């Protein structure tokens, strides 16, 4: 929703902050919007994997209507193998797509899941808190500003030069927030002298020291200025902010930024992460008497029946929308608190996990060798085995299984990482701030049984209490 003045935040539309903008059918798109080559799947670009094509559907703020969710379920059922994945950027993707790619794409476009312009699909990389606008701890509702940013990313032709991986985060100070995913640009709400301002940083996370701050009303202008300055300074091979800042000083970038948008001079402290917040189960919203219910599909995978069932619950018990999260899970917002137990029971009957005491709800795994040519082990199958063993031991741990070093399933470093080295065998890492990559290597070439025993012993050790 464009504004008549840069930086002015539009009024929030009730319960539908992100109107969808379908693009023209494939055969009606002008040649000027031809898709550029990329290894990243999108809605308009199907990328081949071992188990078939992958279509990634980018969701505005992670939100999708019940009708759109049903359209995704139908597309996965009709044109693919019925596998739908929640991603770690709060998007959805359909796997196992066969020869009817155009029909699948057109069905999703007809549901309003496309970008404003075909060339804008790649750059719709803006992550919000899953509880944006309803979180009890939020400093402001980020959704109107997010809509401005998304409109600019898609409408400004120059921004289509950005990498399909170039990403922005907008944090409104919510209690439920993923603050460990690195972004090329992040903005985070902080209180300063009784007013809400936006701290920002480059190539990092809101838990790091900000590079500066702007007034709330200058948030949109700041994003535009950062993206334009990046494109002015970066060479073609410098596709991410971290690549540019490896050679160009941050202070120099910020100094040039200050010539384009008014920056605040005060020193801002980093955002503090609340490590005790869980999104699984029922949680109170800002509005009295309303809760959101968080549910985790096993290892981030839904089948069409799961997604249809969740959509029906959203329509009957919520506000007709679902929100996907960076934890590869989903929320049903605006549930009346008296209906929460019934909604949770219904979600569990669909096969989703709604208890923080469920070991499987804490495991993430990439596609693995069953669907990816680079995977060295069946990570999904191994994760199911590990979850059963951990549940038996009573050990509830956050564990990431990766089929190769690319770490596609986790954009951040988890407390425990298993890196496949051969079928059914993994190297074990524990997160260590002093160590790069996955952290500190603890043991090599472990079976899943050995991993479970070691993790159980570690969780019971008084040194780790």
pLDDT in tens, 326-338: 999 999 999 999 9
Rounded CA-CA distance 216/278 in Å is 28
Rounded CA-CA distance 427/417 in Å is 8
| Domain ranges (residues) in the chain | 1-282, 283-357, 361-464
Helices (H) and strands (E) counted in the chain, each on its own, are: 10, 20
H-state helical runs in 126-175 = 143-155
Residue 16 pLDDT > 60, yes or no?
no
Q: What is the pLDDT of residue 19?
A: 44
Rounded CA-CA distance 462/420 in Å is 29
Rounded CA-CA distance 142/129 in Å is 9
The residue behind tokens 């409104």 is 172
Average pLDDT over the chain reads: 90
Q: Is the whole-model pTM more than 0.85?
A: yes
Domain formed by 361-464, architecture = 2-Layer Sandwich (3.30)
Residue 65 pLDDT > 90, yes or no?
yes
Nearest alpha carbon to residue 310 among 328, 300, 295: 295
Q: At what angle do helices 340-350 and 304-317 cross, to 10 degrees?
A: 170
Kindly report, residue by residue over 86-133, the tens digit of the pLDDT: 999 999 999 999 999 999 999 999 999 999 899 899 999 999 999 999
- Output 453 or 192, whichever has higher pLDDT: 453
Give percent of the chain with pLDDT exceeding 90: 83
User: Mean pLDDT throughout 15-42?
Assistant: 50
Kindly report, residue by residue over 303-362, the tens digit of the pLDDT: 999 999 999 999 999 999 999 999 999 999 999 999 999 999 999 999 999 999 999 999
Residue 230 backbone phi and psi in degrees, to 5: -60, -45
User: Mean pLDDT throughout 211-227?
Assistant: 97
Residue 333 CB contacts under 8 Å (≥ 6 apart), including other chains = 131, 134, 285, 290, 292, 318, 319, 321, 323
CATH number of the 283-357 domain = 3.90.480.10
Q: What is the pLDDT of residue 297?
A: 97
Domain formed by 1-282, architecture = 2-Layer Sandwich (3.30)
Q: What is the pLDDT of residue 36?
A: 58
Q: What is the pLDDT of residue 267?
A: 78
Residue 11 pLDDT > 90, yes or no?
no
Q: What is the pLDDT of residue 433?
A: 85
Residue 27 pLDDT > 90, yes or no?
no
Q: What is the pLDDT of residue 285?
A: 97
Residue 380 pLDDT > 70, yes or no?
yes
Q: Is the dihedral of CA 67, 72, 78, 79 positive or negative?
A: positive
Residue 227 backbone phi and psi in degrees, to 5: -65, -40
Q: What is the pLDDT of residue 32?
A: 34
Fold agreement between 1-282 and 283-357 = no
Find the farthest-apart pair of alpha carbons in the chain and give their distance in angstroms, rounded: 65
Kindly report, residue by residue over 127-170, the tens digit of the pLDDT: 999 999 999 999 999 999 999 999 999 999 999 999 999 999 99
Measure Cα distances from 351 to 20, 106, 340, 361 in Å: 29, 29, 17, 12
Q: How many other β-carbons are positioned within 10 Å of the β-carbon of residue 282?
A: 17
Rounded CA-CA distance 429/243 in Å is 27
Rounded CA-CA distance 337/276 in Å is 22
Residue 30 pLDDT > 60, yes or no?
no
Kindly report, residue by residue over 395-444, the tens digit of the pLDDT: 899 999 999 999 998 888 899 999 999 999 999 999 998 888 899 999 99
Rounded CA-CA distance 206/199 in Å is 8
Kindly report, residue by residue over 241-297, the tens digit of the pLDDT: 999 999 999 999 999 999 999 999 887 889 987 755 689 999 999 999 999 999 999
Residue 18 pLDDT > 90, yes or no?
no
Q: What is the pLDDT of residue 33?
A: 40
Q: What is the pLDDT of residue 265?
A: 85
């Amino acid at each position: 929703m464009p504004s008549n003045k840069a930086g002015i935040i539009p009024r929030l539309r009730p319960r539908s902050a992100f109107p969808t903008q379908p693009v023209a059918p494939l055969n009606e798109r002008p040649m000027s919007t031809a898709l550029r080559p990329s290894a990243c799947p999108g809605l308009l670009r199907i990328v081949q994997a071992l188990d078939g094509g992958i279509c990634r559907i980018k969701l505005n703020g992670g939100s999708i209507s019940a009708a759109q969710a049903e359209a995704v379920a139908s597309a996965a059922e009709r044109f693919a193998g019925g596998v739908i994945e929640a991603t770690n950027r709060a998007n959805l993707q359909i796997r196992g797509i066969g020869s009817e790619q155009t029909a699948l794409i057109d069905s999703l476009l007809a549901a309003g899941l496309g970008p404003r312009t075909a060339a804008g699909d790649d750059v719709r990389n803006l992550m919000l808190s899953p509880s944006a606008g309803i979180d009890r701890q939020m400093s402001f509702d980020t959704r109107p500003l997010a809509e401005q940013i998304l409109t600019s990313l898609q409408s400004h032709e120059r921004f289509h030069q950005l990498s399909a991986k170039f990403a922005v985060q907008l944090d409104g100070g919510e209690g439920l927030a993923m603050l460990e995913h690195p972004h090329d640009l992040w903005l985070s709400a902080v209180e300063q002298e009784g007013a809400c301002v936006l701290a920002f940083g480059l190539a990092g996370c809101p838990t790091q020291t900000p590079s500066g701050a702007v007034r709330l009303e200058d948030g949109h202008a700041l994003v535009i200025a950062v993206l334009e300055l990046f494109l002015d300074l970066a060479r073609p091979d410098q596709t991410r902010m971290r690549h540019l800042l490896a050679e160009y000083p941050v202070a120099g970038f910020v100094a040039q930024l200050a010539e384009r948008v008014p920056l605040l001079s005060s020193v801002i402290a980093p955002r503090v992460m609340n490590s005790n917040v869980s999104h699984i189960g029922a949680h109170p919203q800002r509005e009295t008497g309303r809760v959101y219910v968080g549910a985790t599909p096993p290892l981030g995978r839904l089948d069409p029946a799961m997604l249809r069932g969740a959509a029906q619950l959203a329509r009957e018990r919520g506000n007709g929308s679902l929100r996907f999260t960076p934890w590869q899970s989903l929320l049903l917002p605006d549930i009346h608190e008296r209906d929460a137990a019934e909604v949770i029971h219904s979600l569990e009957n669909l096969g989703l996990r709604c208890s923080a005491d469920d070991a499987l709800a804490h495991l993430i795994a990439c596609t693995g060798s069953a669907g990816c040519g680079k995977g060295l082990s069946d990570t999904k199958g191994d994760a199911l085995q590990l979850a059963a063993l951990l549940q038996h031991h009573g050990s509830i741990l956050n564990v990431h299984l990766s089929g190769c070093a690319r770490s596609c399933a986790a954009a951040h470093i988890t407390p425990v990482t298993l890196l496949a080295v051969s079928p059914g065998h993994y190297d074990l890492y524990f997160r260590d701030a002093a160590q790069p990559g996955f952290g500190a290597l603890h043991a090599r070439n472990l079976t899943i049984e050995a991993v479970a025993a070691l993790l159980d012993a570690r969780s019971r050790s008084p040194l780790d209490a």
